[in-house]
Copies of this chain bind each other. A is one copy, B any other.
Amino acid sequence: MKTKDRILLTSLKLFNEQGERNVSTNHIAAYLNISPGNLYYHFRNKNEIVYQLFLQYQAEVQSFMTLPQDGDITYEDKVHYLESILNSMWDYRFLHRDLQHLLQDDATLRDAYRAFSSRTVADGRNILLSMADSGVLLASREQIDALILNIWILVVSWSSFLQSISIQHNEAGTLRKALLKRAIYQIIALEEPFLCDDIKPLLPELKKKYLAGASTDPLTLFPTVLDEVENR
């Protein structure tokens, strides 16, 4: 593998694990056993690394937003696409963790990110509108507008939310998967009131699948909730 790609891979790994703020170009070079000078031969600066990673992330997410144009997809297909998007969000979670600083630091990334998010929200909105056209979603345009924004905020905030309540030491990856599924559950809950009667019979099973045995009570997501309740 080329050194340039190894730098990207390592940066992504270290940024996700420790936060971009805590990972210097020295750290990245040291992890790879290359010199800092070599790193700067391949990338103008740290922002350039972040920008390249953003482009990878953007391409992944957009690949899941462009649905096959032929036959309509089922609701279950749609939920599946959502799962892929949340996976990408997790794989590049450092971006949303330090998003504001990264955007403030780099005008190019700022413009690219704004274009990306407005495009993705627009695509998501169109999907909901076409569901409304075909009678799957019983919602007014105003309701769809509010719904897609709520979904977007949930999706981009989910990984940061999980990490803020310190569910992060998940080497095995099973906890990670369960908690990503929980985001899908939350989105199904957002859409549920608007789904037509044809879809509703599917929901109990879908919700069960994405709840993955967890309690619906959000308090069970907070690790120290027991101590907390005792102290009140």
Contact = CB atoms under 8 A, between A and B. Distances in A.
Contact of A232 (B21, B119, B125, B166): B119
Interface centre among A150, A152, A158, A186 (most CB of B within 10 A): A150
A98 B223 CA distance: 21
Contact of A146 (B99, B111, B185, B231): B185
A176 to B, nearest CB: 16
Interface string A1-38: 00000000000000000010110000000000000000
Given A147-B189, A150-B190, A222-B114, A100 B165 contact: no
A111 B218 CA distance: 18
A107 B161 CA distance: 17
Given A194-B193, A228-B119, A232-B119, A218 B110 contact: no
Contacts of A221: 149
Contact of A150 (B22, B156, B189): B189
A21 B101 contact: yes
A69 interface: no
A104 interface: yes
Dominant SS among interface residues on chain A: helix
A125 B219 contact: yes
Interface residues of A, number: 63
A229 B160 CA distance: 29
A138 to B, nearest CB: 10
Contacts of A185: 146
Interface of A: 19, 21-22, 97-101, 103-104, 110-111, 113-115, 117-119, 121-122, 125, 141-143, 145-150, 152-154, 156-158, 160-161, 163-166, 185-186, 189-190, 192-194, 216-219, 221-225, 227-229, 231-232
